[in-house]
């Protein structure tokens, strides 16, 4: 057996439909396109989203609001979520991600002042709210801003 003898098994590949090759073929005369109309003509096809001149869907649906292309979406953690750590622990975005507290760190981590904090922690994050800094320092902890 040689390479040129190898091929697909019989019946695995079908022959292409040869249209417009006479009435005896079963696909002659109109070549499977039916009678008249835009789809029967030669030339460019109709785009899939074309609706026959009707106002297209993307123009019919109402447009609302505004999307800021420069918005920075931080992963957010509240102080009550940090209460689980031992006093004096170093809390970093990587540690919180390992514990499953935050998922996406694409823009960074922001600590908000939700809840109370009763133990001193060394917290590193990209952003802090003013109240969060006050509460952390009042509890005896430290704040470190990453990338500033």
- Per-residue pLDDT reduced to its tens digit, 46-64: 888 899 999 999 999 999 9
SS3 assignment, position 75: strand
Q: Same domain, yes or no, for 47 and 93?
A: no
C-alpha distance from residue 9 to each of 41, 54, 80 (Å): 38, 49, 68
Domain-located, residue 37: yes
Share of the chain above pLDDT 90, in %: 64
State the total domains in the chain. Answer: 2
How high is the pLDDT of residue 148? 56
Q: Same domain, yes or no, for 88 and 138?
A: yes
Domain-located, residue 82: yes
How high is the pLDDT of residue 43? 87
Q: Same domain, yes or no, for 97 and 131?
A: yes
How high is the pLDDT of residue 57? 94
Question: pLDDT tens, 67-107?
Answer: 999 988 899 999 999 988 899 889 999 898 888 888 888 88
Domain assignment of residue 42, given as a range: 18-61
CA distance 18 to 102: 60
Q: Same domain, yes or no, for 91 and 132?
A: yes
The mean-pLDDT minimum among 14-23, 100-109, 110-119 falls in 100-109
């Amino acid at each position: 057996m040689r390479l040129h003898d190898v091929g697909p098994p019989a019946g695995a590949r079908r022959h292409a439909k040869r249209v417009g090759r006479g009435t005896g073929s079963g696909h002659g005369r109109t070549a499977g396109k039916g009678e008249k109309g835009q789809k029967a003509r030669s030339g460019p096809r109709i785009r899939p989203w074309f609706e026959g001149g009707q106002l297209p869907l993307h123009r019919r649906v109402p447009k609302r609001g505004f999307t800021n292309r420069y918005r920075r979406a931080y992963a957010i953690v509240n102080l009550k979520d940090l209460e689980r750590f031992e006093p004096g622990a170093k809390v970093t975005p990587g540690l919180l991600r390992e514990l499953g507290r935050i998922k996406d760190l694409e823009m960074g981590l922001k600590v908000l002042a939700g809840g109370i904090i009763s133990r001193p922690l060394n917290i590193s994050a990209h952003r802090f709210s003013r109240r969060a800094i006050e509460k952390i320092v009042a509890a005896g902890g430290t704040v470190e801003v990453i990338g500033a």
